[in-house]
Amino acid sequence: MYFTEVARQGSFTKASEVLYVSQSTISKLIKNLENELGVSLFHRGPKKIVLTDAGILLFDKAIIILDTLNIINTELYNLAGTPQGNLKIGIPPMVQTLFSKTIAEFNSLYPQITIDLAEDGSRKVEQQIHEGTLDVGIVVLPTRATVDLETVTFLKDPLMLIVHANHPLATKSIVDMRELSDESFVLYRDDFALRDHILEKCKEMGFIPKVVCETAQWDFIVDIVASKLAIAFLPQTLCTKLDMELIHYLPLKNEIKPWHLAIAWKKNTYLSYATRAWLEYNFKSFGLNRSDHKKEGKDNDGEK
Protein backbone atom coordinates (compact mmCIF):
# COMPACT_ATOMS: atom_id res chain seq x y z
CA MET A 1 0.00 0.00 0.00
CA TYR A 2 2.84 2.42 0.86
CA PHE A 3 4.64 1.61 -2.39
CA THR A 4 1.58 2.13 -4.58
CA GLU A 5 0.69 5.43 -2.91
CA VAL A 6 4.22 6.80 -3.40
CA ALA A 7 4.00 5.75 -7.05
CA ARG A 8 0.61 7.45 -7.46
CA GLN A 9 1.74 10.68 -5.78
CA GLY A 10 5.22 10.71 -7.29
CA SER A 11 6.42 11.94 -3.93
CA PHE A 12 7.30 10.52 -0.52
CA THR A 13 6.10 13.74 1.10
CA LYS A 14 2.66 13.70 -0.54
CA ALA A 15 2.26 9.98 0.16
CA SER A 16 3.04 10.53 3.85
CA GLU A 17 0.36 13.24 4.00
CA VAL A 18 -2.26 10.99 2.40
CA LEU A 19 -1.42 7.98 4.58
CA TYR A 20 -0.84 9.97 7.81
CA VAL A 21 2.55 8.29 8.19
CA SER A 22 5.86 10.10 8.57
CA GLN A 23 8.01 10.51 5.47
CA SER A 24 10.94 8.81 7.16
CA THR A 25 8.82 5.74 7.94
CA ILE A 26 7.66 5.43 4.33
CA SER A 27 11.19 5.93 3.02
CA LYS A 28 12.49 3.21 5.31
CA LEU A 29 9.71 0.76 4.32
CA ILE A 30 10.30 1.34 0.61
CA LYS A 31 14.06 0.88 1.06
CA ASN A 32 13.45 -2.39 2.95
CA LEU A 33 11.21 -3.59 0.11
CA GLU A 34 13.88 -2.74 -2.49
CA ASN A 35 16.52 -4.60 -0.46
CA GLU A 36 14.25 -7.61 -0.14
CA LEU A 37 13.51 -7.69 -3.89
CA GLY A 38 17.08 -6.81 -4.91
CA VAL A 39 15.98 -4.06 -7.30
CA SER A 40 15.45 -0.29 -7.26
CA LEU A 41 11.79 0.64 -7.54
CA PHE A 42 12.18 4.42 -7.86
CA HIS A 43 14.62 6.74 -9.57
CA ARG A 44 15.05 9.47 -7.01
CA GLY A 45 15.62 12.79 -8.80
CA PRO A 46 16.29 16.16 -7.21
CA LYS A 47 12.71 17.37 -7.69
CA LYS A 48 10.63 14.23 -8.22
CA ILE A 49 10.76 10.44 -8.21
CA VAL A 50 9.75 8.14 -11.03
CA LEU A 51 9.23 4.41 -11.24
CA THR A 52 11.99 2.24 -12.66
CA ASP A 53 11.15 -0.62 -15.04
CA ALA A 54 11.05 -2.95 -12.01
CA GLY A 55 8.86 -0.43 -10.20
CA ILE A 56 6.40 -0.25 -13.12
CA LEU A 57 6.15 -4.06 -13.18
CA LEU A 58 5.58 -4.26 -9.42
CA PHE A 59 3.06 -1.39 -9.48
CA ASP A 60 0.89 -3.12 -12.10
CA LYS A 61 0.90 -6.37 -10.09
CA ALA A 62 0.34 -4.57 -6.78
CA ILE A 63 -2.74 -2.78 -8.13
CA ILE A 64 -4.27 -6.12 -9.14
CA ILE A 65 -3.54 -7.61 -5.72
CA LEU A 66 -4.97 -4.62 -3.82
CA ASP A 67 -8.11 -4.58 -5.99
CA THR A 68 -8.59 -8.29 -5.34
CA LEU A 69 -8.20 -7.78 -1.59
CA ASN A 70 -10.75 -4.94 -1.68
CA ILE A 71 -13.22 -7.18 -3.53
CA ILE A 72 -12.68 -9.98 -1.00
CA ASN A 73 -13.17 -7.59 1.91
CA THR A 74 -16.39 -6.26 0.34
CA GLU A 75 -17.73 -9.76 -0.30
CA LEU A 76 -16.87 -10.88 3.22
CA TYR A 77 -18.63 -7.84 4.63
CA ASN A 78 -21.69 -8.53 2.49
CA LEU A 79 -21.62 -12.19 3.46
CA ALA A 80 -21.54 -11.32 7.15
CA GLY A 81 -24.32 -8.77 6.74
CA THR A 82 -26.49 -10.93 4.48
CA PRO A 83 -25.65 -14.63 4.93
CA GLN A 84 -25.57 -16.67 1.76
CA GLY A 85 -24.52 -20.10 0.62
CA ASN A 86 -25.88 -23.63 0.73
CA LEU A 87 -27.31 -25.20 3.89
CA LYS A 88 -27.75 -28.97 4.23
CA ILE A 89 -30.33 -29.85 6.90
CA GLY A 90 -31.39 -33.31 8.05
CA ILE A 91 -34.94 -33.62 9.41
CA PRO A 92 -36.80 -36.82 10.35
CA PRO A 93 -40.14 -37.14 8.50
CA MET A 94 -42.28 -36.66 11.62
CA VAL A 95 -40.43 -33.46 12.51
CA GLN A 96 -41.03 -31.78 9.15
CA THR A 97 -44.58 -30.93 10.21
CA LEU A 98 -43.06 -28.74 12.94
CA PHE A 99 -40.60 -26.99 10.62
CA SER A 100 -42.49 -26.26 7.40
CA LYS A 101 -43.40 -22.74 8.57
CA THR A 102 -39.94 -22.15 10.03
CA ILE A 103 -38.22 -23.09 6.77
CA ALA A 104 -40.54 -20.83 4.76
CA GLU A 105 -39.90 -17.87 7.07
CA PHE A 106 -36.14 -18.47 7.08
CA ASN A 107 -36.11 -18.61 3.29
CA SER A 108 -37.98 -15.30 3.17
CA LEU A 109 -35.45 -13.66 5.50
CA TYR A 110 -32.39 -15.15 3.78
CA PRO A 111 -33.26 -15.65 0.09
CA GLN A 112 -29.55 -15.98 -0.79
CA ILE A 113 -29.28 -19.19 1.24
CA THR A 114 -30.33 -22.34 -0.59
CA ILE A 115 -31.58 -25.20 1.57
CA ASP A 116 -31.09 -28.90 0.83
CA LEU A 117 -33.37 -31.03 3.00
CA ALA A 118 -32.50 -34.64 3.77
CA GLU A 119 -35.51 -36.56 5.09
CA ASP A 120 -34.08 -39.37 7.20
CA GLY A 121 -34.51 -40.97 10.59
CA SER A 122 -32.79 -39.40 13.58
CA ARG A 123 -30.04 -42.04 13.73
CA LYS A 124 -29.05 -41.40 10.13
CA VAL A 125 -29.25 -37.62 10.59
CA GLU A 126 -26.92 -37.67 13.59
CA GLN A 127 -24.44 -39.90 11.73
CA GLN A 128 -24.45 -37.63 8.68
CA ILE A 129 -23.81 -34.57 10.85
CA HIS A 130 -20.96 -36.45 12.51
CA GLU A 131 -19.51 -37.36 9.09
CA GLY A 132 -19.87 -33.80 7.79
CA THR A 133 -22.37 -34.51 4.99
CA LEU A 134 -25.00 -32.41 6.80
CA ASP A 135 -24.43 -28.97 8.32
CA VAL A 136 -27.16 -29.20 10.92
CA GLY A 137 -30.18 -31.33 11.74
CA ILE A 138 -32.92 -32.35 14.10
CA VAL A 139 -32.23 -35.42 16.22
CA VAL A 140 -33.95 -37.43 18.93
CA LEU A 141 -32.07 -37.57 22.23
CA PRO A 142 -30.17 -39.36 23.53
CA THR A 143 -27.87 -39.76 20.55
CA ARG A 144 -25.55 -42.71 20.08
CA ALA A 145 -22.25 -42.71 21.94
CA THR A 146 -20.30 -42.94 18.67
CA VAL A 147 -21.17 -39.41 17.52
CA ASP A 148 -19.91 -36.11 18.91
CA LEU A 149 -22.60 -33.47 18.58
CA GLU A 150 -23.68 -30.28 20.26
CA THR A 151 -27.41 -30.03 20.82
CA VAL A 152 -30.07 -27.64 22.01
CA THR A 153 -33.38 -29.18 23.09
CA PHE A 154 -36.58 -27.53 21.84
CA LEU A 155 -39.27 -30.17 22.50
CA LYS A 156 -39.84 -33.04 24.93
CA ASP A 157 -43.04 -34.92 24.16
CA PRO A 158 -44.36 -38.21 25.64
CA LEU A 159 -45.04 -41.19 23.39
CA MET A 160 -48.66 -42.30 23.30
CA LEU A 161 -50.20 -45.61 22.30
CA ILE A 162 -52.53 -45.29 19.31
CA VAL A 163 -55.23 -47.89 18.56
CA HIS A 164 -58.32 -48.12 16.38
CA ALA A 165 -61.40 -46.61 18.00
CA ASN A 166 -62.99 -50.08 18.24
CA HIS A 167 -59.95 -51.74 19.79
CA PRO A 168 -60.61 -53.26 23.26
CA LEU A 169 -57.91 -51.00 24.75
CA ALA A 170 -59.57 -47.86 23.40
CA THR A 171 -61.88 -47.62 26.41
CA LYS A 172 -59.04 -47.58 28.94
CA SER A 173 -57.69 -44.40 30.53
CA ILE A 174 -54.11 -45.72 30.74
CA VAL A 175 -52.37 -48.82 29.36
CA ASP A 176 -49.75 -51.11 30.85
CA MET A 177 -47.15 -52.11 28.23
CA ARG A 178 -47.48 -55.74 29.34
CA GLU A 179 -51.00 -55.75 27.90
CA LEU A 180 -49.47 -55.31 24.44
CA SER A 181 -47.42 -58.53 24.36
CA ASP A 182 -49.90 -60.29 22.02
CA GLU A 183 -50.57 -57.26 19.79
CA SER A 184 -49.26 -56.65 16.28
CA PHE A 185 -47.02 -53.59 16.03
CA VAL A 186 -46.28 -51.16 13.21
CA LEU A 187 -42.83 -49.71 13.93
CA TYR A 188 -40.54 -47.02 12.67
CA ARG A 189 -37.66 -47.91 10.37
CA ASP A 190 -34.37 -48.96 11.97
CA ASP A 191 -32.76 -45.52 11.46
CA PHE A 192 -35.32 -43.99 13.84
CA ALA A 193 -34.38 -43.45 17.47
CA LEU A 194 -38.03 -43.99 18.50
CA ARG A 195 -37.83 -47.56 17.22
CA ASP A 196 -34.92 -48.23 19.61
CA HIS A 197 -36.84 -46.70 22.51
CA ILE A 198 -39.96 -48.79 21.85
CA LEU A 199 -38.02 -52.04 21.51
CA GLU A 200 -36.05 -51.28 24.68
CA LYS A 201 -39.26 -50.81 26.65
CA CYS A 202 -40.82 -54.00 25.27
CA LYS A 203 -37.71 -55.94 26.28
CA GLU A 204 -37.85 -54.35 29.73
CA MET A 205 -41.48 -55.49 30.00
CA GLY A 206 -40.47 -59.06 29.15
CA PHE A 207 -41.61 -59.55 25.55
CA ILE A 208 -40.52 -59.17 21.93
CA PRO A 209 -43.16 -57.37 19.86
CA LYS A 210 -44.69 -58.92 16.77
CA VAL A 211 -43.83 -56.40 14.05
CA VAL A 212 -46.02 -56.58 10.95
CA CYS A 213 -44.79 -53.44 9.21
CA GLU A 214 -41.99 -50.84 9.33
CA THR A 215 -42.08 -47.38 7.79
CA ALA A 216 -40.57 -43.91 7.84
CA GLN A 217 -43.89 -42.11 7.46
CA TRP A 218 -46.03 -41.36 10.49
CA ASP A 219 -49.18 -40.84 8.40
CA PHE A 220 -48.75 -44.37 7.00
CA ILE A 221 -48.48 -45.64 10.57
CA VAL A 222 -51.82 -43.98 11.29
CA ASP A 223 -53.35 -45.58 8.18
CA ILE A 224 -52.23 -49.04 9.34
CA VAL A 225 -53.77 -48.48 12.77
CA ALA A 226 -56.96 -47.10 11.21
CA SER A 227 -57.17 -50.31 9.14
CA LYS A 228 -57.15 -52.33 12.40
CA LEU A 229 -53.96 -54.16 11.33
CA ALA A 230 -51.77 -53.09 14.23
CA ILE A 231 -51.14 -50.75 17.14
CA ALA A 232 -48.44 -48.08 17.18
CA PHE A 233 -46.88 -45.21 19.12
CA LEU A 234 -46.87 -41.52 18.28
CA PRO A 235 -45.62 -38.39 20.06
CA GLN A 236 -48.48 -36.58 21.78
CA THR A 237 -47.99 -33.49 19.60
CA LEU A 238 -48.85 -35.52 16.51
CA CYS A 239 -51.72 -37.33 18.22
CA THR A 240 -53.64 -34.07 18.35
CA LYS A 241 -53.82 -34.17 14.54
CA LEU A 242 -55.59 -37.56 14.47
CA ASP A 243 -59.20 -38.24 13.54
CA MET A 244 -60.65 -39.09 16.94
CA GLU A 245 -63.51 -41.00 15.34
CA LEU A 246 -61.02 -43.52 13.92
CA ILE A 247 -58.04 -43.42 16.27
CA HIS A 248 -57.71 -43.19 20.03
CA TYR A 249 -54.49 -42.31 21.78
CA LEU A 250 -53.69 -43.38 25.34
CA PRO A 251 -50.96 -42.69 27.89
CA LEU A 252 -48.70 -45.52 29.05
CA LYS A 253 -48.27 -46.62 32.62
CA ASN A 254 -44.74 -47.75 31.78
CA GLU A 255 -43.49 -44.69 29.94
CA ILE A 256 -41.23 -45.05 26.92
CA LYS A 257 -38.39 -42.57 26.50
CA PRO A 258 -40.01 -39.35 25.23
CA TRP A 259 -39.76 -37.75 21.82
CA HIS A 260 -36.90 -35.55 22.92
CA LEU A 261 -36.04 -33.30 19.97
CA ALA A 262 -32.95 -31.16 19.64
CA ILE A 263 -31.21 -29.02 17.07
CA ALA A 264 -27.79 -30.59 16.48
CA TRP A 265 -24.51 -29.69 14.81
CA LYS A 266 -21.03 -31.17 14.86
CA LYS A 267 -18.89 -30.40 17.87
CA ASN A 268 -15.62 -28.49 17.48
CA THR A 269 -16.04 -27.61 13.80
CA TYR A 270 -16.31 -24.48 11.67
CA LEU A 271 -19.87 -23.23 11.19
CA SER A 272 -20.63 -21.39 7.96
CA TYR A 273 -22.50 -18.08 7.93
CA ALA A 274 -25.56 -19.94 6.60
CA THR A 275 -25.41 -22.51 9.41
CA ARG A 276 -25.01 -19.83 12.06
CA ALA A 277 -27.93 -17.88 10.62
CA TRP A 278 -30.13 -21.02 10.75
CA LEU A 279 -29.13 -21.77 14.34
CA GLU A 280 -29.67 -18.22 15.56
CA TYR A 281 -33.02 -18.01 13.80
CA ASN A 282 -34.23 -21.24 15.40
CA PHE A 283 -32.91 -20.29 18.82
CA LYS A 284 -34.93 -17.09 18.60
CA SER A 285 -38.03 -18.84 17.19
CA PHE A 286 -38.11 -21.45 19.96
CA GLY A 287 -36.94 -19.09 22.70
CA LEU A 288 -33.74 -21.09 23.17
CA ASN A 289 -30.38 -20.12 24.59
CA ARG A 290 -27.34 -21.46 22.80
CA SER A 291 -25.33 -21.24 26.01
CA ASP A 292 -27.49 -24.06 27.33
CA HIS A 293 -26.36 -26.44 24.60
CA LYS A 294 -25.33 -29.98 25.50
CA LYS A 295 -22.44 -31.95 24.07
CA GLU A 296 -23.75 -35.33 22.97
CA GLY A 297 -21.51 -38.33 22.42
CA LYS A 298 -18.60 -39.85 24.27
CA ASP A 299 -18.75 -37.33 27.10
CA ASN A 300 -22.52 -37.59 27.53
CA ASP A 301 -24.16 -39.02 30.62
CA GLY A 302 -25.03 -42.67 30.95
CA GLU A 303 -28.45 -42.21 29.39
CA LYS A 304 -27.40 -44.18 26.30
In this structure, the strands spanning 113-118 and 85-90 are parallel
pLDDT at 79: 63
pLDDT at residue number 295: 52
Q: Vertex 301, ends 296 and 198: CA angle to 5°?
A: 80
Mean pLDDT of the chain: 88
pLDDT at position 255: 93
Render the burial of 198-236: b for 16+ CB within 10 Å, e for the rest: bbebbeeeeeebeeeeebbebeebbebbbeeebbbbbbe
**CA terminus-to-terminus distance, the chain:** 58
Q: What is the mean pLDDT of residues 119-141?
A: 93
Which of these CATH numbers, 1.10.420.10, 3.40.640.10, 1.10.10.10, 3.20.170.30, describes 2-81? 1.10.10.10
Cβ atoms within 10 Å of 254's Cβ, excluding its own: 14
Q: Is the pLDDT reported for residue 292 higher than 70?
A: no
Within this chain, domains 85-154+261-296 and 159-250 share the same CATH topology:
yes
36-68 residues labelled b (16+ CB within 10 A) or e (exposed): eeeeebbeeeeeebebeeebeebbeeeeeeeee
Residue 141 backbone dihedrals phi, psi, to 5 degrees: -90, 150
Determine the average pLDDT of the residues in 249-270.
92
The stretch 252-270 carries a mean pLDDT of 92
The top-level CATH class assigned to 159-250 is alpha beta
Of residues 229, 228, 225, the one with CA closest to residue 238: 225
Q: How far apart are CA 8 and CA 63, in angstroms?
A: 11
Domain boundaries, the chain: 2-81, 85-154+261-296, 159-250
Q: Is 115 exposed, middle or buried (0-12, 13-18, 19+ CB in 10 A)?
A: middle
Q: What is the DSSP string of 189-206?
A: -TT-HHHHHHHHHHHHTT
Residue type at position 105: E
Of 193, 175, 196, 181, the residue nearest 255 (C-alpha): 175
CA 206, 234, 93, 140 dihedral sign is negative
Which of 6-10, 68-72, 93-97, 180-184 shows the lowest per-residue confidence on average (mean pLDDT)? 68-72
CATH of domain 85-154+261-296: 3.40.190.10
Indicate if the pLDDT at residue 75 is higher than 70.
no
User: Among 44-53, 167-176, 293-302, which range has the highest average pLDDT?
Assistant: 167-176
pLDDT for res 302:
35
Write down the pLDDT at residue 15.
Answer: 85
